[in-house]
Chain A
Amino acid sequence: MPALPKEQVRAAIRAGLSARADVATPPRFKVGERVVARNIHPTGHTRLPRYARGKRGVVQRHHGGFVFPDTRAHGLGDQPQHLYNIRFEARELWGADAAEGDGIYLDLWESYLEAEGSL
């Protein structure tokens, strides 16, 4: 990756750098759509937590395009994808003993997800 110009370093450390990037294809999922997190177990880097794999959730927000950590961690480039916020019900993740109405919100990249019913 290219070095940051010296005069930008202080601001970058204070505020962080944006990971937004353009994606050529339209978003595959829309807000309100039911999705399933894919059951994947890559040996490399991933931002999809184990407890969410194979679980059903609902798209809350489309964040736009973001660089993909799973490829960037291995020198395979930015390969930006659409990023979504997904709500998983606590009972879907942890079973019937979890509190009804509780949920967990995860920001997940498009390739982590499938439309419900397609799996």
Chain B
Amino acid sequence: MNGIHDLGGMHGLGPVAREENEPVFHEEWERRVFAVLNLTMAAGQYNVDELRHAIERMAPARYLETPYYEHWLHAAEDLLDAKGVVTREELAQRVAEIAKRSSGEPRGMNEPPRGAAASERVRDAGRGQGK
């Protein structure tokens, strides 16, 4: 599909950001998302091409605003719901349970991510241009 993932040749996104000594995971939740995707694929729920296409179907603005592993999380939620393994209702219920137990506010999908998103880097890159 002609989606936002197919960026080749597009201008205005700024330079590629390189991080010195980049860790494998920036946050603990990224490590967990990595495990969820790999283990659900190993369990035969979907293959890597279905995973990639699920990421391609993200809303374009959301795709640019979210860090890499949030794309994976989106794909897991989308595919596991489509296949009836974990429904949206079950997911929402579990998120609410965990929030109640930890007596803190859950960091839901509608809140800004902690990690540096592509859109933030694009904004930073834009500050140095056009002078």
User: Which A positions have Cβ atoms within 8 angstroms of B?
Assistant: 1-4, 9, 12-13, 41-46, 49-51, 69-70, 72-75, 93-94
A50-B6, A72-B47 known, 12 other contacts, Cβ within 8 Å? A3-B44, A9-B38, A42-B1, A43-B1, A49-B6, A50-B9, A51-B8, A69-B52, A70-B49, A73-B47, A73-B49, A73-B52
Taking CB atoms, residues of chain B closer than 8 Å to A50 are 2, 6, 8-9
CA of A93 to CA of B38, assembled, Å = 36
CB <8 Å contact, A2 and B38: no
Taking CB atoms, residues of chain B closer than 8 Å to A73 are 47, 49-50, 52-53
11 A–B contact pairs at CB < 8 A?
Answer: A1-B46, A1-B47, A3-B43, A43-B1, A45-B52, A46-B1, A49-B8, A50-B8, A70-B49, A93-B9, A94-B9
User: Which B positions have Cβ atoms within 8 angstroms of A?
Assistant: 1-2, 6, 8-9, 38-39, 42-44, 46-47, 49-50, 52-53, 56
Name, among B42, B43, B44, B56, the residue most crowded by chain A CB atoms within 10 Å (CB to CB).
Answer: B42
Taking CB atoms, residues of chain B closer than 8 Å to A51 are 8-9
CA of A33 to CA of B44, assembled, Å = 39
Distance (whole angstroms) from the CB of A109 to the closest CB of chain B: 12
Name, among B43, B47, B49, B50, the residue most crowded by chain A CB atoms within 10 Å (CB to CB).
Answer: B49
CB <8 Å contact, A45 and B8: no
CB <8 Å contact, A1 and B1: no
